[in-house]
Amino acid sequence: MYSQIQNRYFTSMFVATVAALLLLAASPARALTPVTTCGQPLNSPEGQYVLTADLNCTGTFASGIDISASNVVFHLAGHTIASTDCDLSKDINGIFVHGGISGVRIDGGTVRGFNDGIVLSSSNSRVRGMTVTSACLFGIAVQGQNNQVDTSVVTLSGLDGIGIGAASGTHIVSNDISGNVRVGVDISNFSNNNFVQNNIINNNGIVAHEQGGVAIFNGTNNLVANNALNNNFSGIEIESPGNIVRDNTVNGSVDTGIFITTFGSPSTVKHNTVLGNAFVDMLDDGSTCNGDLWRKNTFQTDLAGGVSDGGPGAGCIR
C-alpha cells in the first residue's frame, strides 16, 4: 500500500514538473529595452533595460540615467556612462536610483565622472560587477535599507569611494575600493547594522592626508570584517560607539592601523592582524580604553591615552 502511494506521489510530482517546464518554455522572454541617450528615464516597473553603446553626458550638467520604478534591471553590457561635469550645486549623478522603490539591479559596466557615480536610495537593491571611477564626490552613495554593492571596483573618487548614509542593512562585499581621496568606505548619518566584509581597501586617504580605509563616523552595530586594508593613510577609524572590527588585515598605513576615538567607545576590536603602520598599529584615545574591548589582535605597537600601552600582552589593548 505504501509503495502504491509513493509511486502515485512521484508520478504526480513528475507530471507537475513537466507541466511547469513546458509552461516556462512556452513563456516569451522579457524583452530588453535599449538605453541609448543621456537622461533616459527607466520607469517601467519590472522593466529590463540594456545599454547599447557608450554614453558621453559631458555638458548636460544632469544625471546620466534615472531609475524611478521598482524591480528595474539595468545591464550596462560592458559599456560606459561618462561625464566630466562637476558642480555640487546640481544633481549630477551617473546613475540615480530614487528612494521609495525596491528591487533594482545594476550590473556590468563603467560609470566615469559625474558628482556621484551611482546614488542608490532604494531598498533591497544591488549593484554588482561595476567599475565606478573619477567621481567628483562619492563613487557610490548608498541610502535606504538592505542594499548590496559587490564585486565592483570603486576608485579615484574626489571624496569617498563608498558612502553609507542614513542606511541600514547595507552589505559592501568583495569589492576593490582603492585610491579614493579621503575614505574607502565611510559610514555616517546614523547608519546602523551595516556590513563591510571581504573587500580589498588600499591607498585611500593619501591625497587628503586624513582618514583612509574605513571610517565609522556615525552609527552603531556596524561590522567591519575580513577585509584587506593596505597602505591607506589610516586603516580603520571608529568614531561612534557599539561597532565591531574583526578578522581584518591592516598593514602599511601612513599613520595608524586601527584606532578608536573617545566618541567611539565602547567598541570591539578583535582577531585583527595590524602590522607595519608608520605611526602606531593600534590606538585608543582612552588611557584605560574606556570600555573598548581589544582582544586577540596581532600587532607590535600601541598607544592608549597618548602613551604606550605596553605592547602585545600588556595593558588594555591586546
Model pLDDT, residue 47? 97
* Mean pLDDT, rounded, for 298-316: 96
Does residue 109 register a pLDDT over 70?
yes
C-alpha cell at 102: 525596491
Instruction: Answer yes or no: is pLDDT of 44 > 50.
Output: yes
Q: Which domains does the chain have, with CATH numbers?
A: 159-318 (2.160.20.10)
Mean pLDDT of the chain: 92
CA 82 – CA 98 distance, rounded (Å): 20
Overall average pLDDT of the 106-135 stretch: 98
Q: What is the pLDDT of residue 305?
A: 96
**Whole-number pLDDT of residue 29:** 55
Residue 193 cell numbers, joined: 547594522
**In this predicted structure, what is the pLDDT of residue 31?**
87
What's the per-residue H, E or C state across 274-288?
Answer: EECCCCEEEEECCCC
Mean pLDDT of all residues in 295-301: 98
pLDDT for 162: 98
Residues contacting 182, CB < 8 A, separation 6+:
159, 160, 204, 205, 207, 208, 210, 211
